Amino acid sequence: MSDLDDFKATYFDECSELLTELEEQFVAIEAGERDADRLNAVFRAIHSVKGGAGAFGFSALVGFAHAYETLLDYVRDGRIELTDEVVTLCIRANDIVTDHVAAARSGEALPADYGMDEKNRFDALARGDAAEDDTAGEPDEEFDIEFVPVMVNIGGNDDDFPEIDDTFEALPMAGESGHWEVHFTPHRALYARANDPLLLFRELAVLGEMTTKAVLEEIPPLSDFEPFAVYCSWEITLVSETLTEAMIREVFEFVEGDCDIAIAQLGVGTPPTAEVKAALVHPATPSAPAMAPINLLELADDEVAHLLEFDIEPAAPAKAKADVAPAAVAVVEAKADDAPGLSFADIADSIKPAPVAKVALAPKVVITPAATPETAPGEEGERRSLGVQSIRVDLDKVDRVVNMVGELVITQSMLTQQMDETLRTRYTELVRGLEVLAQTTRGLQDSVMAIRAQPVKSVFSRMPRLVRELGLKTAKKIKLETVGENTEIDKTVIEQLSDPLTHMIRNSADHGIESPEKRLAAGKPETGTIRLSAEQAGGNILIIVEDDGAGINRDRVLQVARDKGIVAPDITPTEEQIDQLIFAPGFSTAEAVSDLSGRGVGMDVVLSNIKKIGGSVHVRSWTGRGTRMTLRLPLTLAVLDVMLVKVGDSPYVVPLSSIVETIQCSRANFERVPSGGQVLQVRGEYVQVIDLAQRFAMTTTTEPENRFVVLCEAEGSAKVALIVDDIIGQQQVVIKSLEENFERVEGIAGGTILGDGNVALIVDVQSLKTSIIHKNAA
Amino acid sequence: MEALGLRDDLNDKSAAAAQNSLQLIAFSIGEQTYGVEITTVREIRAWNGATPLPNTREFVRGVINLRGTIVPIFDLRARFGDGQTTPTKNHVVVVMSVGDKWVGILVDAVSDILTVSRDDIHNVPEGNSIDTELLNGIVTHDSRMVGLIDLHAVVSGARMDN
């Protein structure tokens, strides 16, 4: 893989994160949280997608994202009102961006006019509201600014401007009406992330006539000078009729959090006089680390040489007069039609010669790294400034660690088991060491599991739009509430969760929630609520989908189940059993097959998916009041909760999630059936019996009445009774594959290594049950 | 490269001739000596019991835990059709890699490391299908006959329905 491919892969990873964030933001926006933060987050996300796309040459994506971004920009500064219509358009636009990204990723080409309608609507909206303001609306066009070195003039001669950067010639003429004062105090982090204030100033210069003044009051005497600290801040005055605060903020978007920005509008028509500026100079807060000099270290030789050309008179600053001290600033001025030329006005006498040179460097430094006009460093800073730092790690690597820690846990418990009383009394230090080891291993295991854990948010966040679409299609009013979306589960579990949740919510929307008329007639609020919640309960995660709809129509469910032969005519199931019937394969009560649900696949998919990851599903319904479906999921897949049993002389484990109850054989109620086999009667239900010793061809010496029945639930809530010779207890095990070195064995789901180092086999309840049926059929 | 090609070409005399010597781990089942190429052997350990696997043929003795990995154990005597070994602590499991899998073979004892010349490898005489199926060739060492085990053949056909 080439470097570029690596970068691309990273870009696409980031894209999917950004698109997820977009989705989240719009959920909130739709819910009415239309504040600036949300819009800014949306804008940033689209901007980042666009930036990367530009770098890789995905022109279709760039084109669309740009139009979208322009619209967002107008929305942000209030030129376009964020109506529901605009929100809907934006959500549609998110889809299109997602499609573009997917197309770019797979290398496919989308139709040339893909998303054209939306793009035209953006343009129409944008043009209608801010026709004359194209340049200002698209400050990003300045990305491809050419780097032109700007001289720093120490002499303080305003007329002595250096060369003009022709990029700035086409600037909009600024009027005298809007005067903005920006106080920009970069933090240490801004430079650490390779941001360059000059780039910001250049962008600002595009917005209007700009005057820049560096505030150098904070510069300490050399003895106190900290090489990596930041001592310099800037006063910027901008004059433009059309300028808004949002436009200025946008320039600082990528350094937000890494600097202090104070933006104030001055009286209309006030010229940016020195007096005004001086009045507005408030001392930079001491806590705000200002740091230009770090970049000194990165200066190329020729740049240093350039600096040396400066007419710095080391002695001069030392002689500086006290009466100029109040200003103590270097005024850096830039005219709208000029390059941001810098002029060094004066230096306070407190400043010693050497630091002066450094101070002089500060504005210069600002100029140097300009060669990278991309937004990338900004994005990085953006992410990191959120407070949580993260790295991307290959999941395989994490899994390897998880596996090894699993081994460690087993080895550790094996060691502990080896300790008998004599050893304990003889080697107390060893015992203590083992205890510490046990503690550390447990801690290590928890931490490793935590690495794989992720908030369920990533799944939950896809649901609001599903509900929105379902609401539209079914003409019902539905609102989704989510609770506990920061609950964390193993990544693999999360991946398996999306389909079941989709089906369950579909089911609630289609069958649960009634039409608005029916709801009103029943005295309920017109809008139905689906509540999606996640919580941790012991070693499990409970995911609950609740609706306040009509509840399960039990008569109908039973009728359909009888018609389809799922329930025999002579059996009268309990209410709870009827509720569970909705998970039976092929079951559907919907009269017409809609594209939402009704094909009868769906709820049984929920059950089988959840079973596959070691979870269980439970439904409870209240007629006229609603339905609650509870998913019980294991915290992690790497460790399985099992019941350790004995069959013959061999240890077997049965996943705890599939066990309903255990009964002593002497108390169980067996009945004979014509085939010679046995069935178990348990609470009015007849359950197929499998004697594991017989099934696995083991010889057992246990008396029949001392054996145990383990009642298990197989797929589709059918039960099966396993007879084992002994029940040893519950424990947690790490699942090992048999196929790795052998092959699949019928009736066995895998192996695991017990604390004593022996291998125990995991009973595959589902395959045992089906294999019996096959035998009967044959 | 040649060492890799070797396993497939043991029967092919010209290929065998290309490389002259071959090191074998020799082990015994009853009176008979067998050998496998030393490079396939990963580990030799004493028999310490195995967890039996249901629904498998009698020559699959079960699985053991080899440092966290589950490894199946094949009873070579049973594989040759002489009935299951009654293992004691003195029996030995030779852990080998076959393809990308690790398997253990239960034998009575490991006797020696032999260096034989490839030119001395004879074809298995036609006759009993078990012999030709499970052996790659026969080599004579110190006037003893050593059967070269075909590991792929030994570990295949473990399931009941095969």
Q: Single out the residue of A204, A326, A319, A298 nearest to residue A255, CA to CA.
A: A204
Q: What is the pLDDT of residue A269?
A: 43
A 716-745 near B (Cβ less than 8 A): 736-738, 740-743, 745
Higher pLDDT, B10 or B77: B77
Burial class (CB in 10 A: 0-12, 13-18, 19+), A673: exposed
Mean pLDDT across A530-550? 85
Question: Are residues A476 and A525 located together in one domain of the fold?
Answer: yes
Question: Are residues A107 and A40 located together in one domain of the fold?
Answer: yes
User: In A138-296, which residue ranges form alpha helices assigned H by DSSP?
Assistant: 188-192, 197-207, 245-251, 274-280
Q: Average per-residue pLDDT in chain A? A: 72
β-bridge mates for residue A626, sequence order: A622
At A280, which amino acid appears? L
Mutation target for B interface from A735, A741, A753: give the one with most B CBs within 10 A. Answer: A741
- Here the tokens at position A279 are 């009045």
Which pLDDT band holds residue A772 (cuts at 50, 70, 90)? low
DSSP sequence for B69-128:
EEEEEEEHHHHTTS------TT-EEEEEEETTEEEEEEESEEEEEEEEEGGG-BPPPSS-
Determine whether the interchain pair A743/B158 forms a contact, defined as Cβ–Cβ distance below 8 Å: yes
Q: Highest mean pLDDT range out of A54-58, A281-285, A343-347, A475-479?
A: A475-479
Mutation target for A interface from B43, B45, B53, B98: give the one with most A CBs within 10 A. Answer: B53
Q: How far away is chain A from the Cα of B94, in angstroms, using its nearest Cα?
A: 15
Determine whether the interchain pair A738/B50 forms a contact, defined as Cβ–Cβ distance below 8 Å: no
Q: What is the pLDDT of residue A156?
A: 43
Which pLDDT band holds residue B105 (cuts at 50, 70, 90)? very high
Residues of B in contact with A700 (CB under 8 A): none
Q: What is the pLDDT of residue A343?
A: 38
The string of pLDDT tens digits covering residues A611-628 is 777 777 888 888 888 889
> What is the rounded distance in angstroms from the CA atom of residue A421 to the CA atom of residue A424?
5
Question: Are residues A201 and A348 located together in one domain of the fold?
Answer: yes
3-state secondary structure (DSSP) of residue A198:
helix
Which pLDDT band holds residue B73 (cuts at 50, 70, 90)? very high
Question: Are residues A199 and A260 located together in one domain of the fold?
Answer: yes
Assigned domain for B25 exists = yes
Q: What is the pLDDT of residue A716?
A: 54
Assigned domain for B120 exists = yes
Assigned domain for A415 exists = yes
Assigned domain for B158 exists = no
Question: Are residues A197 and A313 located together in one domain of the fold?
Answer: yes
Higher pLDDT, A649 or A383: A649
The string of pLDDT tens digits covering residues A379-392 is 444 444 455 677 88
> What is the rounded distance in angstroms from the CA atom of residue A688 to the CA atom of residue A678?
7
Q: Average per-residue pLDDT in chain B? A: 81
**Could you give the percent of chain A with pLDDT greater than 70?**
72
Whether A566 and chain B come into contact, CB under 8 Å, resolves to: no
Q: Which of A406, A742, A759 sits opposite B51 (nearest CB)?
A: A759
Whether A414 and chain B come into contact, CB under 8 Å, resolves to: no
With tokens 């801690």, the residue in question is: A443
> What is the rounded distance in angstroms from the CA atom of residue A216 to the CA atom of residue A235?
11
- Name the helix (H) or strand (E) containing A449: helix A428-452
Assigned domain for A403 exists = yes
ipTM higher than the 0.90 cut: no
Q: How far away is chain A from the Cα of B136, in angstroms, using its nearest Cα?
A: 22
Question: Are residues A534 and A463 located together in one domain of the fold?
Answer: yes
Determine the structural domain holding residue B23 and report its residue range: 2-152
A157: left (phi over 0), alpha (psi -120 to 50) or beta: beta
Mean pLDDT across A753-758? 79
Q: What is the pLDDT of residue A189?
A: 78
Mean pLDDT across A178-201? 80
Which pLDDT band holds residue B100 (cuts at 50, 70, 90)? confident
Assigned domain for A382 exists = no
Answer with the one of A131, A156, A190 that is the final residue of a domain.
A131
Assigned domain for B56 exists = yes
The string of pLDDT tens digits covering residues A566-589 is 777 777 777 877 887 777 766 765
Which pLDDT band holds residue B96 (cuts at 50, 70, 90)? very high
Q: What is the pLDDT of residue A141?
A: 40
What is the domain-level CATH number for residue A712?
A: 2.30.30.40
Determine the structural domain holding residue A409 and report its residue range: 395-454
> What is the rounded distance in angstroms from the CA atom of residue A719 to the CA atom of residue A711?
7
How many domains does the structure of chain B reveal? 1
Q: How far away is chain A from the Cα of B91, in angstroms, using its nearest Cα?
A: 18
Burial code (b: 16+ CB inside 10 Å, e: under 16) for A549-566 equals: bbbbebeebbebbeeeeb
Assigned domain for B47 exists = yes
Assigned domain for A274 exists = yes
Residues of B in contact with A739 (CB under 8 A): none
Whether A399 and chain B come into contact, CB under 8 Å, resolves to: no
Higher pLDDT, B28 or A640: B28
SS (H, E, C) A23-75: HHHHHHHHCCCCCHHHHHHHHHHHHHHHHHHHHHCCHHHHHHHHHHHHHHHHH
Q: What is the pLDDT of residue A244?
A: 77
Among A139-143, A329-333, A476-480, A732-736, the minimum mean pLDDT is found in A329-333
Among A593-602, A610-619, B81-90, B118-127, the minimum mean pLDDT is found in A593-602
The string of pLDDT tens digits covering residues B18-41 is 467 888 899 999 888 999 999 999
Q: What is the pLDDT of residue A177?
A: 56
Q: Highest mean pLDDT range out of A36-45, A304-313, B44-53?
A: B44-53
Among A305-314, A617-626, B39-48, B88-97, the minimum mean pLDDT is found in A305-314
Q: What is the pLDDT of residue A715?
A: 58
Assigned domain for A140 exists = no
Question: Are residues A589 and A565 located together in one domain of the fold?
Answer: yes
Assigned domain for B52 exists = yes
The string of pLDDT tens digits covering residues A393-449 is 888 888 788 878 877 877 777 777 677 778 888 888 888 888 898 889 888 888 887
A 648-677 near B (Cβ less than 8 A): 648, 650-651
The string of pLDDT tens digits covering residues A744-753 is 888 888 888 8
What is the domain-level CATH number for residue B103?
A: 2.40.50.180
Assigned domain for A88 exists = yes
Chain B interface residues (partner A, CB cutoff 8 A): 49-56, 62-65, 67-72, 101-103, 158-160
Which pLDDT band holds residue A55 (cuts at 50, 70, 90)? confident
The string of pLDDT tens digits covering residues A484-517 is 888 888 887 888 888 888 888 888 888 888 888 8
Question: Are residues A514 and A591 located together in one domain of the fold?
Answer: yes
Assigned domain for B68 exists = yes
How many domains does the structure of chain A reveal? 5
Question: Are residues A652 and A614 located together in one domain of the fold?
Answer: no
Question: Are residues A425 and A299 located together in one domain of the fold?
Answer: no
Evaluate if residue A595 carries a pLDDT over 50. Answer: no
Determine whether the interchain pair B63/A406 forms a contact, defined as Cβ–Cβ distance below 8 Å: no
Q: How far away is chain A from the Cα of B100, in angstroms, using its nearest Cα?
A: 8
Q: What is the pLDDT of residue A128?
A: 65
Question: Are residues A314 and A403 located together in one domain of the fold?
Answer: no
Mean pLDDT across A373-377? 40
Determine whether the interchain pair B56/A758 forms a contact, defined as Cβ–Cβ distance below 8 Å: no
Q: What is the pLDDT of residue A318?
A: 39
Mean pLDDT across A268-293? 41
Assigned domain for B14 exists = yes
Evaluate if residue A458 carries a pLDDT over 80. Answer: yes
Evaluate if residue B72 carries a pLDDT over 90. Answer: yes
- Name the helix (H) or strand (E) containing B15: helix B13-18
Rg (CA), chain B: 15
Assigned domain for A139 exists = no
Determine whether the interchain pair B70/A748 forms a contact, defined as Cβ–Cβ distance below 8 Å: no
Evaluate if residue B92 carries a pLDDT over 60. Answer: yes
